[in-house]
Amino acid sequence: MAILRKIKEGLKKIIQNKKSSSKGAGLAAKKKTAEEAKKETLGIRETAVEQTKFSHPEPARQPWRIPQEIPWGYGEDRAVLQVRDPWWLHAYWEITGATFDNLKARLGDTFYSSKMVIRVYDVSDIIFNGSNAHRFFDIEINLEANNWYIDTGGPGRSWCVDVGLRLPNGDFITIVRSNTVRTPSEGPSWITDEEWMIPEDMFARLYGMGFGFGRSSPVGKGWQEKMKKEFFSSGAVASVGMSSSPVKKPVKERQFWMVVNTELIVYGATEPDAKVTVQGKGIRLRPDGTFTLRFALPDGRQVIPVQATSADAVETRTITPVVTKETK
């Protein structure tokens, strides 16, 4: 299945990205502030609850239409860049076989000694013309990749990427250029307006409250530490950063278990028009005069008088099973 392969590829990439980022962006990861951390615990909870809306196992069912596969691509050279969060971008692209063939024809053997790279440009506050970026960095990728997560380390900035070839002599050939995106900032804005001036300490207080730290929370470093402590002791942190799924996976402890319950089935038959009671309560007969009752059977003794009265109320029969259940 193409799609499975695709997902696997994606996962591999994430793992690769995580690995590389754990070296390079280790510092950035440590800088994660408490409010972010708290946000994550809330997020996990909300995701888990929202997921229960869709809580069903999957039955094996036939597809309702002849399965068709959606296309791999659309036969064009195209790259799209999206913002995942203040630090990370996602790029996907398609480069046609014809484009590769042209490059091969143009470059000859050099093509094979060139590296496929994503060149990431910081294009904040400029009109990008291909050579005026504030800075850029390259990520080496394999030829088959068609999407990538990019750690920019730069919240609040504008980005554009090229997917292209870096030749052995260092020259870069752009194959496709993406759209430009802007990452959100990771904290409050430094811009204030005169008309709505606010003292720093008051804003800090409101800022903390906005994130749910309560009115008694000390502002600034103090509350950050406090939240970090609370957060790390909650156990919820274990799932953050280690798994890409926010829904708590059941902890793999030894959880062997067994449940045994008992039920009692009482059944019988009489004239279809008779009146029947069981323990004094009327029951409904099937059209053929039979009946079946099913009871959860707790420990102890149950006396179950079953009484049938003929439709003309002349005759009555009573049969009384007595059942004792004990659990050892």
Partner 1 sequence: MNKGYLCLVLHSHLPFVRHPEHEDFLEEDWLYEAMTETYIPLILVFERLLSDKVDFRLTISLTPTLISMLGDNLLQERYLKHINKLIELAHKEVERTRWQPEFNNLANMYLARFYEARNVFERYNRNLVLAFKAFQDAGNLEIITCGATHGFFPLMDVTKPSIRAQVKVAASHYEKVFGRKARGIWLPECGYNPPDDEIFKEAGIKYFLTDAHGILHGSPRPKYGVFAPIYCKSGVACFGRDLESSKQVWSSIEGYPGDSVYREFYRDIGFDLDFEYIRPYIHPDGVRINTGIKYYRITGTDNNKEPYNPHWAREKAAAHAGNFMFNREKQVEYLYDLMQKKPLIVSPYDAELYGHWWYEGPMWLDFLIRKVYFDQKTIRLITPSEYLAENPRNQVVTPSMSSWGYKGYAEMWLQGSNDWVYRHLHKASLRMTELVKQFSRHSTDGLLRRGLNQALRELLLAQSSDWAFIMGTGTHISYAVKRTKEHILCFNSLYEQIKSNTIDEGWLSDIENKDNIFPDIDYRVHQ
d(CA 297, CA 210): 54
- Binding part of the chain for partner 1, among 10-18, 19-27, 164-172, 310-318 by CB under 8 A, reads 10-18
Q: Which CB sits closer to partner 1, 247 or 311? A: 247
Q: How far is CA 283 from the centre of its chain?
A: 50
Q: Which residues contact 50 (CB under 8 A, 6 or more apart)?
A: none
Neighbouring C-beta atoms of residue 99, cutoff 10 Å: 14
Min separation Cβ 169 and partner 1, Å: 33
Per-residue tokens: 172 = 């870069």
Min separation Cβ 104 and partner 1, Å: 25
Q: Which residues contact 306 (CB under 8 A, 6 or more apart)?
A: 266, 268, 276, 277, 278, 318, 319, 320, 321
Helices (H) and strands (E) in the chain, counts: 7, 16
Considering only residues 129 through 158, tell me which ones interact with partner 1, judged by CB under 8 A. 147
Per-residue tokens: 80 = 């799209």
Binds partner 1 (CB under 8 A): choice among 29, 134, 203, 220: 203
Considering only residues 159 through 188, tell me which ones interact with partner 1, judged by CB under 8 A. 179, 181-188
Instruction: Assess 293 for contact with partner 1 (CB under 8 A).
Output: yes
Considering only residues 78 through 137, tell me which ones interact with partner 1, judged by CB under 8 A. 80, 82-86, 88, 90, 92, 94
Considering only residues 213 through 242, tell me which ones interact with partner 1, judged by CB under 8 A. 213-215, 234, 236
Considering only residues 19 through 78, tell me which ones interact with partner 1, judged by CB under 8 A. 35-36, 38-47, 49-61, 63-65, 68-71, 73-74
Q: Which CB sits closer to partner 1, 80 or 269? A: 80
Q: Which CB sits closer to partner 1, 108 or 214? A: 214
Q: Which CB sits closer to partner 1, 96 or 310? A: 96
What are the DSSP calls for 296-310, one per residue? Answer: E--SEEEE--EEEE-
